[in-house]
Structure 1
Amino acid sequence: MELDEQSIIEQPVSNTTLIYEGIDYNAYSLIQLACMAESEITGQSIAKFQDAMKLQLIVIKSKLSNQPENNLDKLNALLRCVYDEQGFTGDWKAFFKVKNALLSSVLSRRKGVPISLGFLLIEMLKEVGFDAYGICFPSGFIVKVLLNNESLYIDPFNGQLVGFTELELKVRGQLGNHARLTSDMLQADSNETIIKRYVNVIKAGYIQADNVELALLCSDILLRLDPEDAFEVRDRGFLFQQLDCFQLACNDFTYFIEQCPDDPIVSLLKQQIKSMSDDLVAQVLH
């Protein structure tokens, strides 16, 4: 089932609040939560996505029907099916585009970024019986599979199994040459942590596309989930500033300064507040 990519990205937003403070993250799968977030942001039909996903899962199950035992051979067969035969792949050429973050677009195009591809891969792995989890790894989303009391790690961007040496190289590439892989980095993250990361990725895509209104909606969802996140309040302030909502921006910057007075960006924010306050006075005078 094909989903119209352009309509997914540009259609009006939903009026229904699906992601809210106090939501029971454990009552939903990762892909359900991600689909709910996308539906709230873009208005994309959850039922339409679910139908398309069901078809994809049927294909995967039929391809692996002759491999009932969950072992390394079956895991490799699944990865070949998804990445070689079905053509799912990471999109280097348009890495920061919204179409590579939104699940419905990624399912239709079979191209995406690690977190969106990771959600789809986890769902496929679970459908055929594997225990699969997500990790918000420093360099990008990683999928963890438990197999015979052993943890295996998959880079969902290319479908490759990655060992500790490769994972440490990824860490050093992201955090600096002196950084080292630690056991904490390989722990499965909660649905709450992962969904917040996912909405942040979508927000970044909309910022990159200069779609400030939808970026602001993403920020609203994140603050709904964590109203006291001072850094998200600060980011929302910058979005308000771009929309010439100077009083709202000043309020957000002031809140951040109060919560994080020693942050290096405080002096810049104070300058921004003064500049916007002058603009507000000028607007009133005219």
Structure 2
Amino acid sequence: MSDETLPAFRDYLARDEGPALLEGALLIAEAFQPHVDRAACHAALDELARELAPGLPPGDAGDAAGTARALAAYLHDVAGFSGNAVDYYDARNSFIDQVLRRRTGIPISLALVYMEAGRRCGLPLHGVGFPGHFLVRLEAHPPVLVDPFAGAVLDEEGLQVLLRQALGAAARLEPGHLQPAAPREMLFRMLTNLKHIYLRQSDLPHALACSHRLLALAPGAVPEYRDRGLIQRELGLAAEALADLQHYLAHAPRDVHVETLERTVRELEGQLRRFN
């Protein structure tokens, strides 16, 4: 596949004001679909905010938990946004236009809906890259956490349950688990999810498009060079694969698979010598 939207994604990342999350999510959706109606997405979020606002407690009430409950109750119970547990690995769950249209998704894409609808109502919301499950954080003292997949406000016990599901029975909740995620971190996680989905489907061209964007977002993400190199090798892009795998081995010499990767590098070098 030709990757015509990659330059636009790179231009977006280079903006002085930093990446706006919704814009990045739309660019990701456009990379894998023939048409994304941006105006319809903005209109849908505006309409959600108009419907949400009357049910929120007054801003001076100091009721953060009540605000979070109202947010979740409207978006989950009334508007019908819920997690797609039946077909979790459908790529459409990661595309913001499809999530808005179908009203279902995975935790991080639903979190974006919560954040964008809430932001339009003046709510200070951030994403949280919680282990194994993306959450929404309403800034308050203390902050309140919402699970957009289930449409539920989480207390400490609920957070601990999620943590143990992800990390095992010995895991203990720490402040670092609840830190806000920057837009670049959210976009990186979205693209990582998509890459795994496409690899699961053996859709290597789309997986490669994800890898290109992951490295545009985070050029220092050394493991991504390995992954992109191996994808390119399978696609017959020997020169590109060789460059990525050499870069990876130079920066991650302790990889447990180093011997296998070095053998792959030698094979690619041999291929290129034969072609030249």
Same fold (TM over 0.5): yes
1:22 touches 1:225 (CA, 8 Å); kept in 2?
no
For 1:140, what is the secondary structure of its paired residue? coil
Structure 1: give runs of 5+ residues left out of the alignment.
Answer: 1-9
- The 1:284–1:187 alpha-carbon spacing in structure 2 relative to 1, beyond 3 Å, is closer
Shift of 1:144: 0.6
For 1:129, what is the secondary structure of its paired residue? coil
What residue number does 1:31 align with? 22
What residue number does 1:245 align with? 237
**Once superposed, what is the RMSD of the aligned Cα atoms?**
2.7
Distance 2:261 2:250 in 1: 11
Q: 2:262 aligns with which of 267, 270, 273?
A: 270
Alignment of 1:54-203 (within 5 A): 54-61=46-53, 64=55, 67-69=57-59, 71=63, 72-147=65-140, 149-203=141-195
Distance 2:176 2:150 in 1: 24
Shift of 1:12: 8.2
- The 1:48–1:14 alpha-carbon spacing in structure 2 relative to 1, beyond 3 Å, is farther
Identity rate, percent: 24
For 1:137, what is the secondary structure of its paired residue? coil
1:253 touches 1:269 (CA, 8 Å); kept in 2?
yes
What residue number does 1:50 align with? 42
2:68 touches 2:153 (CA, 8 Å); kept in 1?
no
For 2:9, what is the secondary structure of its paired residue? coil
2:46 touches 2:117 (CA, 8 Å); kept in 1?
no
Query: Which residue type is aligned with residue 33 of structure 1?
Result: G
Shift of 1:34: 1.8
- The 1:211–1:27 alpha-carbon spacing in structure 2 relative to 1, beyond 3 Å, is closer
2:69 touches 2:152 (CA, 8 Å); kept in 1?
no
For 2:254, what is the secondary structure of its paired residue? coil
Aligned residues: 271
Distance 1:11 1:269 in 2: 27
Query: Which residue type is aligned with residue 263 of structure 1?
Result: D
1:97 touches 1:209 (CA, 8 Å); kept in 2?
no
Deviations 1:14-56 (A, max 9, x none): 365134454446563x223322333345452433322332233
Query: Which residue type is aligned with residue 25 of structure 2?
Result: A
Shift of 1:243: 0.8
Distance 1:245 1:77 in 2: 51
What residue number does 2:222 align with? 230
Structure 2: give runs of 5+ residues left out of the alignment.
Answer: none
Distance 1:158 1:19 in 2: 34
What residue number does 2:8 align with? 17
Shift of 1:186: 1.1
Distance 2:183 2:275 in 1: 47
Distance 1:75 1:163 in 2: 12
1:238 touches 1:249 (CA, 8 Å); kept in 2?
yes
What residue number does 2:246 align with? 254
Which aligned runs of 4 or more in structure 1 are off by greater than 6 angstroms? none
Distance 1:220 1:135 in 2: 24
Query: Which residue type is aligned with residue 14 of structure 1?
Result: T
TM-score, normalised via structure 1 length: 0.83
